[in-house]
């Protein structure tokens, strides 16, 4: 969460309030206790971010948040302060405005609850990453809304959710559609993995609805359906040493013949060399790179398990550091050239800036498909570079605990998918010890 400040909320102060890059920031009013401005990072729904007036109060022992409205017509700072005063005054009498709002939502449809969740949910989960909210929006809008949107949310039953999962698995919601972006295209797929993820997202939304959205339901109807579905089988693909060596050769060759952008190549190299997640490297900021200490330091909002583990430190081996040093040199030379030619181009904060416009590089799937074909890697995914990093570490004797730390897992149980690799390494160690003692059986 961004820095918390306390000033008198005026139009000038509100307009000057900085939009955070991730998550939410708050500016508290210095004159009216509990009244504040909540500032949300840019999202797909609001590309410029949002400034929303709210008030925090207590009724008895219960602490409440009441959203007044977004800055702009009709809400000015003075109007919002008057509304906050009314909420606080009524709270002193035991009148709970938030509870009344939730009561009015008792009969919302699933579609309406989805809209509420995507709009108000981030306030209850400030550490949840923007990319996770984007995935939630896709699952809820493209799968849940078409199949369950018209149903009253509190009347939802486990059978409804199970039927939805079966329909998604069968491809009922799969389609190829254009998006609002220029030449944009979204391929919506079905299948058991998509069904399982969608039910999990629906379950999380219903929990939020019961806790924060006024949904009056005795049980979460998606919870039982999720148990019946079971966990989707994980896809595991580990590059062999020969494949990894060949991959790096292919990357060099493709950059040399200009069939692959150098930024894409460096992202793929760093993913293989660090075991980091794709979003952690593609969105890497120079402020997160510490070449002196040979590491990357990512804030909690930038990593999947940040809410549980705090900031994530990714060690840089010499090969990974060389890549970043070279990119830093290139960035410095580009800035010098821009200054010399008097171009008013602010330096990008990103290690891998977008080829056009602001932001960082996106669209890695097509270049990866080209690399994969050239390197003869079959169906290997970008995420399998992370798996391969873990497999090589275990083969060299690293414990599951150390691999979990290196990968940024909040729970070592997540790392147990690599346990069979650890067993293979122990078997090899045992055989090597037996050979040294001359006790290996014939034919081994």
Same domain? 429 vs 393: yes
- What is the domain count for the chain? 3
Which has more confidence, 233 or 408? 408
Q: Are 254 and 374 in contact (CB under 8 A)?
A: yes
Return the DSSP state at 145.
H
Residue 181, pLDDT score: 54
Domain boundary among 229, 255, 274: 229
Please write the tens of the pLDDT for every residue from 24-72. 889 999 999 999 999 988 865 666 788 999 999 998 888 888 999 999 8
Residue 257 dihedral angles phi and psi, to the nearest 5°: -95, 10
pLDDT in tens, 363-381: 898 999 999 999 999 889 9
Instruction: Say whether the peptide bond before residue 340 is cis (omega within 30 degrees of 0).
Output: no
- Domain end residue (candidates: 104, 139, 168): 104
442 pLDDT above the threshold of 60: no
**261 with 382, same domain?**
yes
Paired strand residues for 353: 360
Same domain, 281 and 401: yes
Residue 334's CATH number = 1.10.443.10
314 in any annotated domain? yes
Reference 294, options 262, 259, 319; nearest CA is 319
CATH, residue 70: 3.30.160.390
If asked whether residues 133 and 217 sit together in one domain, one would say: yes
Do residues 97 and 37 share a domain? yes
* 289 and 426 belong to one structural domain: yes
pLDDT in tens, 394-433: 777 777 778 777 877 766 666 666 666 656 656 666 777 7
Our measurement of the distance from residue 35's CA atom to the centroid of its chain's CA atoms, rounded to an integer in Å, reads: 30
What is the C-alpha to C-alpha distance for residues 247 and 323, in angstroms, rounded to an integer? Answer: 16
Half-sphere exposure of 196 (CA within 13 A, CB side): 11
Residue 265 sits in the same domain as residue 402: yes
Q: Give which of 177, 94, 116 is closest to 142, Cα–Cα.
A: 177
Give the pLDDT score at 106: 63
* Any domain includes 44: yes
Domain interval for residue 184: 110-229
Q: 172 and 75 share a domain? A: no
């Amino acid at each position: 969460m961004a820095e918390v400040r306390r000033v008198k909320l005026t139009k000038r102060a509100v307009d000057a309030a900085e939009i955070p890059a991730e998550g939410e920031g708050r500016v508290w009013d210095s004159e009216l206790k509990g009244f504040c401005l909540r500032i949300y990072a840019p999202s797909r729904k609001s590309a410029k971010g949002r400034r929303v007036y709210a008030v925090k109060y207590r009724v008895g022992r219960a602490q409440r948040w009441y959203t007044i409205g977004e800055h702009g017509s009709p809400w000015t700072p003075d109007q919002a302060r008057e509304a906050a005063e009314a909420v606080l005054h009524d709270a002193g009498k035991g009148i709970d405005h938030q509870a009344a709002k939730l009561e009015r939502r008792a009969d919302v449809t699933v579609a309406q609850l989805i809209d509420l969740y995507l709009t108000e949910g981030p306030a209850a989960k400030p550490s949840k990453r923007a990319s996770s909210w984007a995935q939630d929006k896709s699952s809820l809008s493209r799968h849940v809304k078409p199949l369950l949107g018209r149903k009253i949310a509190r009347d939802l039953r486990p059978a409804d959710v199970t039927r939805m999962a079966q329909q998604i698995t069968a491809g009922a919601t799969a389609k190829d559609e254009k998006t609002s972006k220029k030449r944009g295209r979204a391929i919506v797929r079905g299948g058991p993995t998509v069904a399982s993820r969608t039910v999990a997202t629906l379950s999380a939304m219903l929990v939020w609805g019961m806790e924060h959205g006024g949904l009056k339901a005795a049980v979460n109807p998606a919870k039982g359906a999720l148990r019946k579905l079971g966990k989707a089988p994980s896809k595991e693909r580990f590059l062999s040493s020969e494949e990894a060596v060949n991959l790096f050769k292919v990357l060099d060759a493709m950059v040399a013949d200009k069939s692959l952008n150098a930024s894409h190549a460096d992202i793929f190299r760093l993913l293989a060399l660090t075991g980091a997640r794709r979003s952690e490297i593609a969105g890497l900021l120079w402020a997160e790179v510490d070449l002196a200490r040979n590491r990357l330091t990512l804030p909690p909002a930038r990593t999947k398990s940040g809410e549980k583990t705090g900031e994530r430190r990714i060690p840089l081996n010499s090969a990974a550091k060389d890549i970043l040093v070279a990119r830093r040199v290139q960035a410095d030379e580009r800035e010098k050239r821009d200054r010399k030619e008097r171009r008013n181009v602010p330096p990008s904060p990103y290690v891998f800036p977008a080829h056009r416009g602001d932001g960082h590089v996106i669209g890695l799937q097509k270049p990866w498909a080209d690399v994969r074909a050239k390197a003869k890697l079959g169906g290997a995914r970008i995420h399998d570079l992370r798996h391969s990093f873990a497999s090589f570490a275990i083969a060299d004797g690293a414990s599951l605990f150390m691999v979990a730390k290196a990968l940024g897992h909040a729970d070592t149980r997540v790392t147990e998918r690599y346990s069979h690799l650890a067993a293979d390494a122990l078997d090899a160690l045992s055989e090597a010890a037996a050979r040294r003692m001359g006790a290996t059986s014939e034919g081994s």
